[in-house]
Amino acid sequence: MNQIIFNSISKNKINIQNSNQMPDKHNKNKTSNNKWYKITFIISAILAFIFIGIFIFRLYSNNQNEKLSKLLTESYSISTLYSNNINNYEVTPTDNSPFVIGIIKIDKINLNYSILSVSNNNLLDISVCRFAGPMPNEVGNLCIAGHNYVDYKFFSRLNELSKNDKISIYDLSGNKVDYVIYDIYEAKSDDTSCTFQNTNGLRIVTLVTCNNVNGKRLVIHAKEM
């Protein structure tokens, strides 16, 4: 009888000890999880700050380039306003350095930018650029490239255009020629067929920008009205 009572008491002690140990294990697991959550939160916060910083810097850089582009456009307007005959002096630098050769305006999407004479990565950050074809409003196919930014600058709204929409080009003499869109399509990034120059004596403007979704190029052709 005493042995039975002793065994019962021993079992109760063991059960009490086990019940006392279980919260300790639970607390340790909880503490470990809390530490992991804190570490994850800190890492996520750091990555978020880095991403936000890069995004803000990119916006600032784009805004600065936008201001520079507007200054170039204003400079073009002033030069054509005060020049009785712009052809009286040489407008093409002999060292092939880039310069403003005209202005492109598309009222439907509120687009108004100076056109730079040559195209490279740095100049495309400043404004739209000629990458093939003649000078503005000359016979041939003037091809103009522009970036597609998320903040609706440069050529980011070309996808809103449709056939029969109007594009206006101002040349170095201040003359404006209106062009009507007759073809819109997408092409691979290595497809240069849009730069064709056999226009049968017509004046054509081609606008090209990238599609940020599929990596292709949006191409828009317009002919003189």
**Cβ-based neighbour number of residue 147 at 10 Å:** 20
Residue 37 has a pLDDT of: 75
Question: Which span out of 10-19, 177-186, 189-198, 204-213 was modeled with the highest average pLDDT?
Answer: 177-186
Over residues 143-199, the pLDDT tens digits come to 999 988 877 889 999 999 999 999 999 998 889 999 999 999 999 988 999 999 999
- Identify the pLDDT of residue 169: 97
Q: Which CATH class is domain 1-225?
A: mainly beta
Encode pLDDT of 112-145 as tens digits: 999 998 888 888 888 999 999 999 999 999 999 9
Instruction: Annotate 44-77 with DSSP letters as a single string.
Output: HHHHHHHHHHHHHHHHHHHHHHHHHHHHHHHHHH
- The pLDDT tens digits for 32-86 are 667 777 787 788 778 776 767 665 655 555 565 555 555 555 544 434 333 333 3
pLDDT of the residue at 208: 94
Strand ranges inside the chain, DSSP E: 100-106, 111-116, 128-132, 140-145, 166-170, 176-187, 203-210, 217-224
The predicted structure's pLDDT at residue 26? 55
**pTM (2 decimals)?**
0.62
